[in-house]
Amino acid sequence: MTPSSLGGRLLAEPIREFGRAGIFLVTAFARMRFGRLQLGEILRQVYFVGARSLVIIVICGFFVGLVLTLQTHDTLTRFGAGDAVSTVLALSLFRELAPVLTAILFAGRAGTSITAEIGLMKATEQLDALDLMAIDPMERIVQPRLLAGVLAVPALVMVFNVTALLGGVFFSVYLMGSDPIVFWSKMQASVELGKDFMGGLLKSAVFGFLVSWLAVYFGWSAKPTSEGVALATTQTVITSAIAVLLMDFVLTAFML
Amino acid sequence: MTSSHQIEFTAGLFLLLGIAALVFLALHATDGGALKDGGYRVVAEFSNVGGLKARANVSLGGVRVGSVESIDLDPETFSARVVMVIGDRFRTLPEDTSASILTSGILGDQYIGLEPGGAPDMLEDGDKILITQSALVLEQLISRFLFNSGGEQKK
Amino acid sequence: MPDTLAASDSSAAAIRLDNVTLARGDRAVLTGFSLAIPAGKVTAVMGPSGCGKTTVLKLITGQLRPDKGQVWVGDIEVNRLRGADLNALRRDIGVLLQNGALFTDLTCFDNVALPLREHTKLPEPLIRRLVLLKLQTVGLRGAAALYPRELSGGMNRRVAMARAMALDPAVMLYDEPFAGLDPISLGASVRLIREINGALGITSVVITHDVAEVQKFADHCCIIAEGRVVASGTPDQLLDSDQEVVRQFMRGLPDGPVPFHFPARPLADELLAERA
């Protein structure tokens, strides 16, 4: 398989890219000096990627909860297990849907804006300017965004969970007239804090890190032209989606 | 353009919102796990635990009073040794309480149902429940049924 | 043919490139290139597009390393520097990039304050005064609270100048500071470059195409073409040069040693060629 053959190109190029992304990440961490952690900058980034993503998360969360409950309610009542709706909703949300969907929505909304921002900074020589002022752009631009993602995504996932449950409650209790006490107590009995809930939280942190890493990397390595930045944002979304789903599989297998 | 103070404040609020959501969910949407009040341990031996798993419910009169902590095989008696954790709120279980492995609903999970006795002394941490009823195994049930009806037909 | 600057006065060269060779891919950008920039003066580095002017700048700042040869700033060999040493050198060199490259998410004030906050332990009130003074020098103290996008391109560049000067560097490098400026902003920039140079007693290197302005601000000029220095001297000396390339450049002649036509086959052949 030579680099110029089709197989070489299809396989070798992604592997090289992956390697570059890995080296980028290691460099970013190697240069992290804990005494100089730019807390203000991290919080700013948490605002931009986290707080600004709330609207879409809340809306999508509510509708996901609503639809999921709608779907399962029909099937479960047919088997006389209508009470299990809340359990099914909670388990699918906490373990899978909330972390994965939130991560992908985050990639689309915040990930692309990070990529575009860094790509544009590269194109307008702002990254060079930092270098020339003997300020490490990794420290000032990359690290805060990486850490902000790890903090923001779990918070977003929790909000997604809550709004989705509210969607479920809305459907079950207000539209279908189920007993809210049964709804909640069945859920409480069947959802384990450690295995189901914390597992989902762990996934959220991992996904947040993953998406932020990819978003920052593609922005950093974008060609400093308008096409380059556009391509980079596309790469962020696609690669994030694939990476999140892959990682989801790995983590789920590991946790079960 | 929002000042940097406003931005940082909003970010802080956002993170607090996330934490609040997390705490709400942990308390109201899960079983609470390790956060729940402590309990005391009680052992029971069964000849067959069927599909009973760790963390299964332990109920009395339909109310959840604890959970199964561990299931082990006693190497000498070859019976299953189940350790249950009963909540501290339920310290008034008589010593001769019985434990049965039951199934919730038709397709449901298996759980342990406790039936209180009438003894004056209470179960304490480390005590053993002596009266137990093992799980019903479907195959044994069927063969018993066939055996009986087969016996009847011989008449 | 003299490749190096014959010292026209007794001032030592503050910046020197000795026999530098640099190739980008398989294209040789500089070959055996030597350049000396005198201390304490404003030197203009000129030349046709793509001749390697920006490369020279990047060699001085250490952004590029030569394949062969050395780069000296004072008595520091730049091409050997790494990490913390390179950073220390960069703190002493102020660079004005072509479009200013101000940080769009910070106000003008914060832009200029950034190097002070990062590299000094000065208390905030003192930093505030320093920043305001720097902005005053470039005439933009009133715009301190504005964001770069709220200012014109010329103003952006002036703020960037203030930022480059923030740590009072020993060397100032300007990459095409006049490109695309209106005459008023241009005049302001020219004046600033001279003032900064005089006030701080530093060495300034200005990369520019603008022959007309060069006479107004440069103490010294070099013209780079074909990967080497083809002429150097005072602006007047260059105007009187008898080298063809220098004449073409200084007078803006469209054709000459630097050809008008991109290399191609003869026109007649192209028009008469049969399509395959």
Q: How far is CA A171 from CA A65, A84, A175, A186, B33, in A?
A: 9, 14, 5, 16, 28
Residue B111 shares a structural domain with residue B47: yes
Dihedral angle over CA of C168, C143, C109, C122, nearest 10:
60
| Subunit contact A129:C97, Cβ cutoff 8 A | yes
Residue B26 shares a structural domain with residue B37: no
Mean pLDDT for all residues in chain C: 84
- What residue numbers bound the domain in which B90 lies? 33-136
Residue B5 shares a structural domain with residue B42: no
In a domain? residue B94:
yes
Domain count, chain B: 2
In a domain? residue B143:
no
Residue B38 shares a structural domain with residue B79: yes
In a domain? residue A22:
no
Residue B99 shares a structural domain with residue B126: yes
- What residue numbers bound the domain in which A96 lies? 39-255
pLDDT of residue A64: 95
- Reported ipTM: the value is 0.80
Tell me which residues of chain A, numbers 171 to 210, contact chain B at a CB-CB cutoff of 8 Å.
184, 187-194, 196-197, 201
pLDDT of residue C12: 61
In a domain? residue B152:
no
Edge-to-edge strands, sheet with B63-73: B127-129, B39-46, B80-87, B63-73, B57-60, B110-115, B98-103, B131-133
Averaged pLDDT, groups of 10, chain B, 155 residues long:
74 90 86 66 88 83 83 88 86 87 78 88 86 83 79 52
C149, amino acid identity: R
B122 DSSP assignment: B
In a domain? residue B15:
yes
In a domain? residue B21:
yes
The lowest-confidence range among A58-62, A217-221, C76-80 is: C76-80
Residue B26 shares a structural domain with residue B44: no
Residue B78 shares a structural domain with residue B132: yes
The lowest-confidence range among A209-218, A227-236, C44-53, C180-189 is: C44-53
H/E stretch holding C21 reads strand C13-24
| Subunit contact A188:B29, Cβ cutoff 8 A | yes
In a domain? residue B153:
no
In a domain? residue A13:
no
Residue B52 shares a structural domain with residue B66: yes
| Subunit contact C101:A129, Cβ cutoff 8 A | yes
Residue B22 shares a structural domain with residue B42: no
In a domain? residue B84:
yes
Domain count, chain A: 1
Identify the chains in contact with A, defined as 3+ C-beta pairs within 8 A.
B, C
| Subunit contact B25:A151, Cβ cutoff 8 A | no
Specify the long-range contacts of residues C176-182, CB closer than 8 Å, at least 24 apart.
Answer: C176/C98, C176/C207, C176/C208, C176/C209, C177/C96, C177/C206, C177/C208, C178/C208, C178/C209, C178/C210, C178/C213, C179/C98, C179/C209, C180/C153, C181/C153, C181/C154, C181/C157, C182/C154
Residue B42 shares a structural domain with residue B113: yes
In a domain? residue A20:
no
Residue B71 shares a structural domain with residue B122: yes
In a domain? residue A9:
no
* B81 in Cβ contact with B27 (< 8 Å): no
Q: Give pLDDT < 70 ranges for chain C.
A: 1-12, 274-276
A68, pLDDT greater than 90: yes
Structural tokens at position C137: 């020098």
H/E stretch holding A8 reads helix A6-30
Work out the average pLDDT over A29-48. 80
C40, amino acid identity: G
Q: Is A176 exposed, middle or buried (0-12, 13-18, 19+ CB in 10 A)?
A: middle
C32, amino acid identity: G
Phi, psi of A66 (to 5 degrees): -60, -50
Site from C85, C92, C105 to mutate, A interface, most A CB atoms within 10 angstroms: C105
Q: Which pTM does this prediction carry?
A: 0.77
In a domain? residue B91:
yes
A124: chain C residues, CB-CB within 8 Å: 99, 101, 104
What confidence tens digit (pLDDT) does each residue in C16-35 have?
A: 888 888 888 777 788 888 88
Domains annotated for chain C, with CATH where assigned, are: 13-92+169-272 (3.40.50.300)
Question: Which residue of A79, A156, A189 is in closest CB contact with B18?
Answer: A156
In a domain? residue A18:
no
Residue B24 shares a structural domain with residue B100: no
